[in-house]
Amino acid sequence: MLLKTFGWSFAVTAAGLALAGVLWGWKGLAIVGILSILEISLSFDNAVINAGVLRKMNAFWQKIFLTVGILIAVFGMRLVFPVIIVAITAKMGPLEAVDLAINNKDKYEHLVTAAHPAIAAFGGMFLLMIFLDFIFEERDIKWLGWLERPLAKLGKLETLSIVVALLVLLVTAMTFATDVAHGGGDKTATVLLAGVAGLLTYLIVGGISGYFEDKLEEEEEEVEEAEEAERAEKAASGAQKGSQGATVVGLAGKAAFFLFLYLEVIDASFSFDGVIGAFAITNDIFEMALGLGIGAMYIRSLTVYLVRKGTLDDYVYLEHGAHYAIGALAAILLITIKYEIHEVITGLIGIVLIGASYWSSVVRNRREEAAGGEDAESKAEVTSGV
């Protein structure tokens, strides 16, 4: 199971480190290794969130996530995205931006860093919406009940998460964006525009994927009810069954496709801090793409592993911890519009929150096992007494 899931990650790591050693020597090999660890530590909570979405997909779309998805993650977000950002913000052509990234690395780093307020606002708002929609939703299982119960009651107010997110964006733009650390000057308009774009992206992609997911569930329920009626009455034809089955497959494909897009936007939002933080280690885009790409591969393999092992079902608070980590990351991204926050702090916050939720899940499982054992003993005593 472990080798099957992480086999490609191990192979990519070996090939990537070997390539780094050949191209850049021991120094390049060390840089790529450090960047890989950085990406894994920053995005561990991403794997838990992705697993919660990916387990709704079939095996085919899980493979798409590991193949096409990793290409988008490595070449799209870690290599192409920073170049596009430079091209847009510096108002130059894509080829000119590529030439700048290769031949004038210092200026390229400066331009990417200067674009950080817009990147942080977009990613911060997208992640904040994920956190708010989670925390305002009524759930049977609660981790921090003292906090989640009242917030779930407040969540009955429609569009509350949007209102809160817009208020956070407005406060951020009027405080952190007035004199930013990256690029200097007043970036209020930039932060507002990028933040609204992040919010709209979440609403559009998440809304479409949620729509098809709901439609799929409705169709599956209708098919199950029809099959039960058929078994009871023995009156349905094989042709009708086939047409119903085809409908479900078609809707599943649409739902899975938009969930896949949703996953890619989540990954993009998580990768922003990694890409920006990587400049503290190197400004070579190829070293950066290789190191962060190896880390991204492990995050994807970990996502699939969590799905196949049913870890989220066994450790029920993990998803809570990951969403709290998302909320923390969203806040950190918005704060970094003006203030520097070291990547180690970002990574540690996520690890601590997920670790705490994991331990709480273990304690809960032990408590339930103990309670189950006591119930079994009491029943045995009653039976023997009779």
Mean pLDDT of 86-106: 83
Q: Which residues contact 132 (CB under 8 A, 6 or more apart)?
A: 160, 161, 164, 165, 327
Per the CB < 8 A criterion, the answer to whether 248 and 280 are in contact is: no
Tell me, yes or no, whether 123 lies in a domain.
Answer: yes
Query: pLDDT: is 380 or 25 the higher one?
Result: 25
Confidence of residue 240 (pLDDT cuts 50, 70, 90): very low
pLDDT for res 160: 92
Note whether residue 375 is domain-resident.
Answer: no
pLDDT exceeds cutoff 90 at 169: yes
Q: Is residue 380 part of a domain?
A: no
Structure confidence by residue, pLDDT tens digits, 280-315: 677 788 888 888 888 888 888 888 888 888 887 888
Per DSSP, which regions of the chain are E strands?
none
Query: Is residue 237 included in any domain, yes or no?
Result: yes
Is 285 a domain residue?
A: yes
Distance CA 107, CA 86 (A): 10
Rounded-to-integer distance, Cα 356 and Cα 317, Å: 9
| pLDDT class of 181 with cuts at 50, 70, 90 | low
Q: What is the mean pLDDT of residues 51-61?
A: 79
pLDDT value, residue 244:
44
| Res. 381: pLDDT tops 90 | no
52 part of a folded domain: yes
Q: Is residue 234 predicted with pLDDT exceeding 50?
A: yes
Which residue range(s) make up the domain with 186? Answer: 2-368
Report if residue 138 sits inside a domain: yes
In a domain, 377, yes or no: no
Q: How many structural domains compose the chain?
A: 1
High-pLDDT (> 90) share of the chain, %: 15
DSSP H helices in 234-342: 238-278, 285-309, 311-314, 318-335
Q: What is the pTM of this model?
A: 0.76
Predicted local confidence at residue 165, as pLDDT: 95
Is residue 49 within 8 Å of residue 322, measured between CB atoms?
Answer: yes
